[in-house]
Amino acid sequence: MGRSRDLDAPARGACAVCGAPSGGSLCARHSKAARKIEAHFATWRERAGVEWEEYLRLVSENDLSGAWIKETAEYLLRSGMRFGQISRP
């Protein structure tokens, strides 16, 4: 587990996913999506036996994933952010 990155921290500029103004590193939409991605990981690991990176890849490629979930999963993959680095407010 790496150091926790606070997505709702005070003004740091633009959302790393969509560029919208945000209080943290992600805007409200994408930080909600990031938290959801983290929350569902346990279910995926238990059911499909996948690890974090594989999980993010499968979620980002799934046609049923919502647009904000896909974008955030792609960003988490790109940025190499590990499970547990997305903190809750």
Partner 1 sequence: MRRGSLERQLIICEKPSAAEKIAFALGGAGVRRSRRGKVPVYSFELGGKEVTVVPSIGHLYAAAQQGPGWSFPMFSLVWVPIHEVERRASGAKAWIRAISDLAAQADSFVSACDLDTEGSLIAYMILLHACHGADSRARRMRFSTLTRQDLQAAYAGMTSTLDYGVAEAGKARHELDWIFGVNISRALMDSYSRTGSSFEVLSAGRVQSPVLYALAKREAAIRLHLPDPFWLIGAEAEVGGGIVQARLKGGKVLSKREAEEIASRCSGAKAVVSGIAEREAVIPPPFPFDLGTLQSEASRIFGFHPSRTQKIAEKLYLEALISYPRTASQKIPPSINCVQILRGLAGSDYYREMAEEILASGRTRPREGKKSDPAHPAIHPTGALPRSIGRDEGKVYDLVVKRFLAAFGEAAVQAQATIELECGSGDVFVADGRATKEAGWTRYYKPYAFLKEAPLPKASAGDEAKVLRAWAEGRFTAPPPRFTASSAIRFMERNGLGTKSTRAEVLDTLYRRGYIDGWKISVTELGFGVTRILKKFFPDLVSIELTRRLEEEIEGIGAGERRATEVVLKGIDLAKGVCEKMIDKYEEVGDELSKVVRKLREERRTLGPCPECKSGTLIITHSRKSGKRFVGCNNYKNGCRVTMPLPQRGRITPSKSTCKVCGYPIIEVRGLGKRPWRLCVNNRCGSKGSWQRGSGKAGSEDGAE
- Site residues, partner 1 (CB under 8 A): 20-21, 29, 32-33, 36-37, 40, 43-44, 46-49, 59, 62, 64-69
CA distance 49 to 29: 28
Smallest distance, partner 1 to C-beta of residue 24, A: 17
How many Å apart are CA 44 and CA 78, to the nearest integer? 20
Strands 13-14 and 21-22 come out as antiparallel
Q: What is the nearest approach in angstroms of partner 1 to the Cβ of residue 37?
A: 6
Distance in Å, CB of 80 to partner 1, minimum:
20
